[in-house]
Structure 1
Amino acid sequence: MNVYLSTIIFTFINFIILLFILKRFLIKPVNKIMDDRQDGINTSIKKAKDDEEKAAISREEKDRLLHESKVKGREIVKEYKVNAENISQEIIDEAKKESIIIIERSRVEIEREKEKAQSEIKKQVIELSLVLAEKALEQHIDEKEHRRLIEDFIFKVGS
């Protein structure tokens, strides 16, 4: 049993030395590499979560800005539409005022022309009456001649 016991003890001591060497030179560096790798993975996961949160916030901000832009665009369009309607109404009102002024001027001008024509007709009637009276005084008029003079007068006044 001595041989076996010494071999067992020697093997056991070798195992402990090997275990110590492995622990010192292999397990610690491997654990350090594994820990570093785990930290890198955790950092990447945390960064990915942060990026995802930032993306969600950016998406919400973009959606909010888009909604605000649409609302503001509608307000601007509505405002321009109201302005255009106001300007259109002003133009229509101004055109109506100008047409009333033109119509009134035309009426005044027509009235003047009418008065002028009536005055001219009166002058012609007076002149014709004078001419008729001269002819009537120059000669003795019988009824037949009287009718002819009246018809001549009417004919001249009509033209």
Structure 2
Amino acid sequence: MGEVFSPNMLFYIFNFVILYLVLKYFLFDRVKKIMESRKERVVNDINSAKLNREQSEKLIEDGKLELKKVKEQGKSLTKTYKTKAESLYDEIVGDAKKEADAILDRAKVEIDREKHKAEDEIKSQSIELAIEMASKALQDSLDKDTHRRLIDDFIAKVGN
């Protein structure tokens, strides 16, 4: 058994233990701290990424809802302005129709006035013609009262 624990072997074990302690003191604890720090940073980055992803998804959903609202508002505004435009169109057309009717009514009144004026003028000329014809035909045979009565009868007949 002497060969199993030779002085070289003991020296190797002693050197290994010293190397282990030196490495543990200078390297292992620092590496362990660095690894823990990296682990925490990675965990924090993953959690932050998850949180950012959740926030992004929420913002996307909010954006979709807002877009939907804006589209609905746009449709509503379009419908409102279309209704107002149609109402204004109907009002303008109605006013134009009223104005046209008023113009037609004034034209009818004017036509009636001109018609009565022409009728009165024709009556007047007919009376004058009748008087002239009667006076030439009867010259002096009728007296003034009979002459006036004949003219009034003629006016009454022409007037109807």
Deviation at 1:85, TM superposition (A): 1.0
Change (3 A) 1:133 1:2: closer
Q: Determine the C-alpha separation between the residues in 1 that align with 2:122 and 2:72.
A: 74
Change (3 A) 1:99 1:7: same
Deviation at 1:137, TM superposition (A): 2.5
Matching residue of 1:54 = 55
Q: Determine the C-alpha separation between the residues in 2 that align with 1:109 and 1:28.
A: 117
Deviation at 1:19, TM superposition (A): 1.2
Q: Determine the C-alpha separation between the residues in 1 that align with 2:139 and 2:87.
A: 77
Q: Determine the C-alpha separation between the residues in 1 that align with 2:100 and 2:21.
A: 114
Deviation at 1:3, TM superposition (A): 10
Please list the CA deviations of residues 39-92 of structure 1 after superposition, one character each: whole Å capped at 9, or x if unmatched. 222222222212111111111111011000000000000011111111111112
Matching residue of 1:21 = 22
Q: Determine the C-alpha separation between the residues in 2 that align with 1:136 and 1:37.
A: 143
Q: Determine the C-alpha separation between the residues in 1 that align with 2:32 and 2:121.
A: 129
Q: Give RMSD over aligned pairs.
A: 2.1
Please list the CA deviations of residues 106-129 of structure 1 after superposition, one character each: whole Å capped at 9, or x if unmatched. 111111100000000000001111
Deviation at 1:4, TM superposition (A): 4.3
Q: Determine the C-alpha separation between the residues in 2 that align with 1:104 and 1:4.
A: 138
Matching residue of 1:66 = 67
Change (3 A) 1:25 1:99: same
Q: Determine the C-alpha separation between the residues in 2 that align with 1:42 and 1:81.
A: 57
Q: Determine the C-alpha separation between the residues in 2 that align with 1:5 and 1:51.
A: 63
Is 1:93 aligned with 2:94? yes
Q: Determine the C-alpha separation between the residues in 2 that align with 1:3 and 1:105.
A: 140
Matching residue of 1:149 = none
Q: TM-score, normalised by structure 2?
A: 0.79
Q: Determine the C-alpha separation between the residues in 1 that align with 2:3 and 2:125.
A: 174
Q: Kindly provide the amino acid, as one letter, of the partner of residue 30 in structure 2.
A: P
Structure 2: where are the runs of 5+ without partners?
142-160
Runs of 4+ in 1 over 6 A off after TM superposition: none
Q: Determine the C-alpha separation between the residues in 2 that align with 1:102 and 1:3.
A: 135
Q: Kindly provide the amino acid, as one letter, of the partner of residue 77 in structure 2.
A: I
Structure 1: where are the runs of 5+ without partners?
141-159
Q: Which moved more, 1:8-17 or 1:20-29?
A: 8-17
Matching residue of 1:147 = none
Q: How does 1:1-12 map to 2 (within 5 A)?
A: 1=2, 4-12=5-13
Q: How many residues align?
A: 140
Deviation at 1:13, TM superposition (A): 2.5
